[in-house]
Structure 1
Amino acid sequence: MLKRYLSSTSAKSLASALDEKVYQVTTYARPDDLCITRGQNAKLYDDINGREYIDFTAGIAVTALGHSNPEVADIMHKQALKLVHSSNLYYNKECLDLSSKLVEKTKKFGGQFDASKVFLCNSGTEANEAALKFAKKHGITINPKKQGIIAFQNSFHGRTMGALSVTSNPKYRTPFGDLIPHVTFLNLNDELTKFNDYISSNRDKLAGLIVEPVQGEGGIFPVPADKLIGLKKICSENEVAVIYDEIQCGLGRTGKLWAHAALPKEAHPDIFTSAKALGNGFPIAATIVNDKINNALQVGDHGTTYGGNPLGSAVSKYVVDVIADEKFLSQVEAKGEIFKTRLRELQKRFPEQIKDVRGRGLIIGAEFAEPPTEVIKRARELGLLVITAGKSTARFVPALTIEDSVIEEGLEIFAKAVEAVYK
Structure 2
Amino acid sequence: MIPSVLPTYNRVPLSFTHGEGAWLVAEDGRRFLDMGAGIAVNVLGHAHPALIEALTAQAGKLWHVSNLYQIPEQQALADALVDATFADSVFFTNSGTEACELAVKMARKHWAAKGHPEKTGLISFSGNFHGRSSAAIAASGTDKMIGGFGPVLPGFVHVPWGDHDALHSAIDEHIGAILIEPVQGEGGIRPLPDQCLKGLRELCDEKGILMILDEVQCGMGRTGRLFAHEWAGITPDIMMVAKGIGGGFPLGAVLATEDAAAGMTAGTHGSTYGGNPLACAVGLAVMRHVSDPDFLAEVRRKAALLRQRIESIVATHADVFEEVRGVGLMLGLKCRLPAADVVEAGFAHELITIPAADNVMRLLPPLTLSDSDIAEAVSRLDRAATAASLKAKAPA
Q: TM-score w.r.t. structure 2 length?
A: 0.95
Indicate the RMSD between aligned Cα atoms, in angstroms.
1.4
* TM-superposed deviation, 1:175: 3.0
Find 1:404's aligned residue among 350, 371, 375: 371
Correspondence 1:228 to 2:209: no
Task: State the number of aligned residues.
Answer: 388
Question: Structure 1: 5+ residue runs without aligned partners?
Answer: 1-20, 107-111
- The CA distance in 1 between the partners of 2:365 and 2:382, in whole Å, is 17
Find 1:239's aligned residue among 196, 205, 208: 208
Q: Which residue of 2 aligns with 1:17?
A: none
- Structure 1 segments (4+ residues) deviating >6 Å: none
Q: Which residue of 2 aligns with 1:43?
A: 23
Find 1:56's aligned residue among 35, 38, 59: 35
Find 1:84's aligned residue among 38, 63, 67: 63
* TM-superposed deviation, 1:171: 1.3
Q: Which residue of 2 aligns with 1:98?
A: 77
Q: Which residue of 2 aligns with 1:121?
A: 93
- The CA distance in 1 between the partners of 2:316 and 2:286, in whole Å, is 39
* TM-superposed deviation, 1:194: 4.1
Give the letter aligned to residue 138 of structure 2.
S
Correspondence 1:208 to 2:189: no
Give the letter aligned to residue 263 of structure 1.
A
Q: Which residue of 2 aligns with 1:162?
A: 135
* TM-superposed deviation, 1:168: 4.2
Give the letter aligned to residue 88 of structure 2.
S
- The CA distance in 1 between the partners of 2:216 and 2:259, in whole Å, is 22
Cα deviations by residue, 1:274-331 (Å, 9 ceiling, x for unpaired)? 1101111111111000011121222111110011101111111111110111111111
Cα deviations by residue, 1:118-143 (Å, 9 ceiling, x for unpaired)? 00111011011111100011122331
- The CA distance in 2 between the partners of 1:309 and 1:369, in whole Å, is 45
- The CA distance in 1 between the partners of 2:261 and 2:300, in whole Å, is 34
Correspondence 1:356 to 2:335: no
- The CA distance in 2 between the partners of 1:31 and 1:296, in whole Å, is 44
- The CA distance in 1 between the partners of 2:285 and 2:130, in whole Å, is 26
Residue aligned with 2:140, SS: coil
Find 1:134's aligned residue among 93, 100, 106: 106
Correspondence 1:70 to 2:49: yes
Correspondence 1:31 to 2:12: yes
Q: Which residue of 1 aligns with 2:163?
A: 190
Cα deviations by residue, 1:363-413 (Å, 9 ceiling, x for unpaired)? 000001242222211211111111111131010001000111011111111
* TM-superposed deviation, 1:273: 1.2
Q: Which residue of 1 aligns with 2:147?
A: 174
- The CA distance in 2 between the partners of 1:315 and 1:308, in whole Å, is 11
Give the letter aligned to residue 289 of structure 2.
V
Q: Which residue of 1 aligns with 2:385?
A: 418
More moved, 280-289 vs 133-142: 133-142
Correspondence 1:316 to 2:297: no
Cα deviations by residue, 1:332-362 (Å, 9 ceiling, x for unpaired)? 1111122211221122123343111011110
- The CA distance in 2 between the partners of 1:232 and 1:363, in whole Å, is 23
- The answer on whether the counterparts of 2:100 and 2:131 sit within 8 Å (CA) in structure 1 is yes
* TM-superposed deviation, 1:96: 0.6
* TM-superposed deviation, 1:70: 1.7
Residue aligned with 1:367, SS: strand
- The CA distance in 1 between the partners of 2:103 and 2:337, in whole Å, is 35
Q: Which residue of 1 aligns with 2:393?
A: none
Percentage of identical aligned residues = 37
Cα deviations by residue, 1:32-82 (Å, 9 ceiling, x for unpaired)? 3x1111111100011x32211010010000010011112211111111111
Residue aligned with 2:259, SS: helix
- The answer on whether the counterparts of 2:187 and 2:356 sit within 8 Å (CA) in structure 1 is yes
- The answer on whether the counterparts of 1:117 and 1:290 sit within 8 Å (CA) in structure 2 is yes
Cα deviations by residue, 1:135-189 (Å, 9 ceiling, x for unpaired)? 0111223312110111000000001111221124431222312211011111221
- The CA distance in 2 between the partners of 1:85 and 1:55, in whole Å, is 32
Question: Structure 2: 5+ residue runs without aligned partners?
Answer: 391-396
- The CA distance in 1 between the partners of 2:320 and 2:56, in whole Å, is 48
Residue aligned with 2:280, SS: helix
- The answer on whether the counterparts of 1:43 and 1:67 sit within 8 Å (CA) in structure 2 is yes
Give the letter aligned to residue 134 of structure 2.
M
Q: Which residue of 2 aligns with 1:6?
A: none
Give the letter aligned to residue 126 of structure 1.
E
- The answer on whether the counterparts of 1:139 and 1:208 sit within 8 Å (CA) in structure 2 is no
Residue aligned with 1:83, SS: coil
- The answer on whether the counterparts of 1:195 and 1:231 sit within 8 Å (CA) in structure 2 is no
